[in-house]
Amino acid sequence: MSTLPQDAAAPAATERRKVTVRTIQARRDKGEPITMLTAYDFPSARLVDEAGVEMILVGDSLAMVVLGHENTLSVTLDEMLHHARAVRRGARFALLVGDLPFMTYQVNEEQALRSAGRYVQEAGMDAVKIEGGRSMAATARRIVTAGIPVQGHIGLTPQSVNTLGGWRVQGKTARAAMDLIDDAVALEDAGVFSIVLESVPEPVAQAITDRVRVPTIGIGAGLGASGQVLVYHDMLGLHAGLSPRFVRHYAELGRATGEAIVAYAADVKARRFPAPEHTYPMPEEELAAFRELLAEREREREQRRPAPEGGRRLIA
């Protein structure tokens, strides 16, 4: 059953095919913007997939928006896999990208390959994402060589929040912008199928996009990328706290959910819920028989009860 409104402009399921890395490249080659969203569980994956979004990222942002951590550093690969499996069950068409969490690929290439392999074998992901540019190019190449597509991620890389000194826009100086171009080119040479550009000025994103043949996917990179990605909870207003400047709230589901829960609790307290339409009927004759059986059982119970000391039990 579709969970989308009838008039939503998603392509009909019959016309759709599974999105692959070739589909994504073809979109970029045609100049058609690519859509990507995060999802972390079965219902969100189903909604994103049914809406026709081309790529779903099981992002390590789940550490913050789902698990309540202060940054992405503490989520483990096992936790990510648990969510990725649920996303797999909810998505039929989108290309699924599993985000390799902190310290599951930085130790050495063998560790990276093993972690990437788990996403494919244990969670059915189509690709993995790693953070880092030139320093991660050899790692990306090793994973790609084993047959697993890799998405790069440069600019603001949240797993390096401590070395970056906070959640800061990257590539704001001419030198830093040139470094980002070198990072993107190194990743492309390593064989990545696309590159996420996070929190970089639009002209820098555009320059990177113009210099690589693989698609770039922007988040906080303006229109300078081949496609866009947002965090599901951010775009739906489900994440409490400050939203980054680059987020557009397409709905305020956090507020709507809070209001709904307050209304439910008030209805329960006032006995307005459940109403007759929420209860299951019983045939009249069965109800009468049931009441008679209850009364009979009550009479039997009364008979079995010991008589009060020195007294006489009255049986009706």
Catalytic positions are 198
Which lies closer to ligand KIV via its Cβ, residue 40 or residue 93?
40
Token pair in block for residue 42: 């079965």
**Residues 149-178, interacting with ligand KIV (CB under 6 A):** 153
**Residues 186-215, interacting with ligand KIV (CB under 6 A):** 196, 198
**Alpha-carbon distances of 6 from 9, 110, 243, rounded to whole Å:** 9, 48, 31
**CA separation for the pair 287, 266 (Å, rounded):** 31
What is the size of the binding site for ligand KIV (CB under 6 A)? Answer: 12
Residue type, 206: Q
Contact stretch for ligand KIV (CB under 6 A) within 13-21, 53-61, 112-120, 298-306: 53-61
Instruction: Please tell me whether residue 59 binds ligand KIV under the rule CB under 6 A.
Output: yes
The backbone torsions φ and ψ at residue 5, rounded to the nearest 5 degrees and listed phi first, read -60, 150
Contact stretch for ligand KIV (CB under 6 A) within 52-60, 90-98, 110-118, 240-248: 52-60
**CA separation for the pair 90, 50 (Å, rounded):** 9
Instruction: Please tell me whether residue 99 binds ligand KIV under the rule CB under 6 A.
Output: yes
Reported residue count of the chain is 316
Instruction: Please tell me whether residue 60 binds ligand KIV under the rule CB under 6 A.
Output: yes
Selected binder of ligand KIV within 56, 231, 235, 236 (CB under 6 A): 231
Which lies closer to ligand KIV via its Cβ, residue 144 or residue 196?
196
* Residue 289 C-beta: closest distance to ligand KIV, Å: 59
Token pair in block for residue 74: 């503490």
* Residues whose CB is less than 8 angstroms from the CB of residue 311 and which lie 6 or more positions away in sequence, other chains included: none
Q: Which residue carries 């990177």 as its tokens?
A: 208
- CB neighbours (10 Å) of residue 253? 15
Selected binder of ligand KIV within 19, 52, 53, 61 (CB under 6 A): 61
* Residues whose CB is less than 8 angstroms from the CB of residue 61 and which lie 6 or more positions away in sequence, other chains included: 38, 72, 99, 158, 231
Contact stretch for ligand KIV (CB under 6 A) within 45-53, 54-62, 110-118, 297-305: 54-62
Residues making contact with ligand KIV (CB under 6 A): 38, 57, 59-61, 99, 153, 196, 198, 219, 229, 231
